[in-house]
Amino acid sequence: MGQIQLNQVTKTFGNVNVIPPLDLTIHDGEFTVFVGPSGCGKSTLLRMIAGLEDLTTGSISIDGVDATDTPPAKRGLAMVFQSYALYPHMSVRKNIAFPMRMAKMPEDEQNRRIEAAAKALNLTDYLDRRPGQLSGGQRQRVAIGRAIVREPSAFLFDEPLSNLDAALRVGMRLEITEMHERLKTTMIYVTHDQVEAMTMADKIVVLRAGIIEQVGSPLELYHSPQNEFVASFIGSPKMNLIKGEEAAKHGAATIGIRPEHTGVSMTEGMWKGRVGVSEHLGSDTFIHVHDTGLADMITVRINGDVQVKHGDTIYLNPELDKLHKFGADGKRID
């Protein structure tokens, strides 16, 4: 079990209101990702769920039981920190055993769980090392191991991969997703990396300044962002947002079109522009188109084999059925 419910939760630090009243339900077994720009309150929200930060007002219930004043250790949640927060003076084995020792679990049960966790996380050869003698990825696995052995009702991750290099990050991302498939435990994962959010989540919660902008599955967010903020936040490269006359033609204050939904032609098309920087990724090329008279710059995705030169004239053909329309208040118009 691991159902978490936030009711009218708020948080103020001094007189700064970080989280305005917020409601959110996280269902049992769900992989929920909190995503948003830096400083939007993701960590604060997670720490409030963990019990490391008091609520200013509102309540939290876990599995239907009010947990607002329950101390962190009694909530049955395990947390993995960005800095790993391993205990540097203990061996890997002792680190993993620590929560079980604190719970006074029988020795042989402890050992059984340590062995199982070590095997699942490829740590068997490192059990007697100190955290200082491990690589970043191994440390991260120890931190996850320490969380797993508690058999929590939910895992909380606060940007667990942001200290790893790109290749390792992809690997660990898969491992965590894999682990979720296997354990089917509720997981709440904080990140500002939208690729992580899109690839791992069952449900993404997009936050801005403590306000939930949209909750939905990755594809819902991609296909029907409810407002301009979500539209430009989800998707890489960002959606092109066009205001003014062109938007008015479509009956909206702002229209949005994703780079991958814009065709290009060298001879004819709806919009005309001049090629700026081209970013070659091999499979795809992203070109920045200037002087369209629509926006400062429009990014489009073309096939990696197409050759365009800086300064070429280019025509763009947006797929009109993939156009997103937003009203003057930034909300989606259908």
Partner 1 sequence: MATQHSRSAARIMMAPAVVLLLGWMLVPLIMTLMFSFKRYLPLRGGDLGWTGFDNYIRFVSSSAFWPAVSTTLIIVGAVLIITIVLGVLLALLLDQPMWGQGVVRILVIAPFFVMPTVSSLVWKNMFMDPTNGLFAHLWRFFGADPVAWLSEASVPSIIMIVSWQWLPFATLILLTAVQSLDSEQLEAAEMDGAPALSKFGYLILPHLSRAITIVVLIQTIFLLSIFAEIFVTTGGAFGSRTLTYLIFQRVLESQNVGLGSAGGVYAIILANIVAIFLMRIVGKNLDA
Ligand X SMILES: Nc1ncnc2c1ncn2[C@@H]1O[C@H](COP(=O)(O)OP(=O)(O)OP(=O)(O)O)[C@@H](O)[C@H]1O
**Binding flag, residue 89, partner 1 (CB under 8 A):** yes
Applying the rule CB under 8 A, the residues between 177 and 236 that interact with partner 1 are none
Torsions phi, psi for 271 (to 5 deg):
-120, 145
**Binding flag, residue 44, Mg ion (CB under 5 A):** no
CB of 15 to partner 1, least distance (A): 17
List the structure tokens of 111.
């050992």
Secondary structure of residue 128 in the 3-state scheme: coil
Alpha-helical regions (H) of the chain: 42-50, 92-102, 107-120, 136-148, 166-183, 194-200, 218-223, 228-233, 245-249
Edge-to-edge strands of the sheet including 313-318? 262-265, 313-318, 271-280, 284-290, 298-303
Q: With residue 317 as reference, give the H or E element that holds it.
A: strand 313-318
Handedness of CA 237, 216, 208, 137 (dihedral sign): negative
Which of 188, 185, 184 minimizes the C-alpha distance to 197? Answer: 188
Q: Which of 3, 56, 68, 82 binds partner 1 (CB under 8 A)?
A: 82
Q: Which of 39, 87, 184, 248 binds partner 1 (CB under 8 A)?
A: 87
**Binding flag, residue 262, Mg ion (CB under 5 A):** no
Residue burial 245-279, b: 16+ Cβ < 10 Å; e: rest: ebbeeeebbbbbbbbbbbebeeeebebebebbebe
Q: Which of 9, 18, 77, 242 binds partner 1 (CB under 8 A)?
A: 77
| Measured distance CA(265)–CA(313) in Å, rounded | 9
What mask, x for binding partner 1 by CB under 8 A, covers residues 136 to 165?
A: ----------x---x---------------
CB of 98 to partner 1, least distance (A): 5
Q: Which residues bind ligand X (CB under 6 A)?
A: 13, 16, 18, 36, 38-44, 192
CB of 163 to partner 1, least distance (A): 12
**Binding flag, residue 50, partner 1 (CB under 8 A):** yes
Q: Which of 43, 140, 240, 292 binds Mg ion (CB under 5 A)?
A: 43
User: Which one, 90 or 209, has the nearer CB to ligand X?
Assistant: 209
User: Which one, 86 or 234, has the nearer CB to partner 1?
Assistant: 86
The one of Mg ion, ligand X, partner 1, none whose footprint includes residue 39, by CB under 5 to 8 A per kind, is ligand X
CB of 247 to Mg ion, least distance (A): 35
| Measured distance CA(128)–CA(204) in Å, rounded | 38
**Binding flag, residue 90, partner 1 (CB under 8 A):** yes
| Measured distance CA(259)–CA(273) in Å, rounded | 15
Look at the block and give the residue holding tokens 């699942």.
120
| Interaction site with partner 1 (CB under 8 A) | 50-52, 71-74, 77-79, 81-83, 85-90, 98-99, 102-103, 146, 150
**Interface residues toward Mg ion, by CB under 5 A:** 43
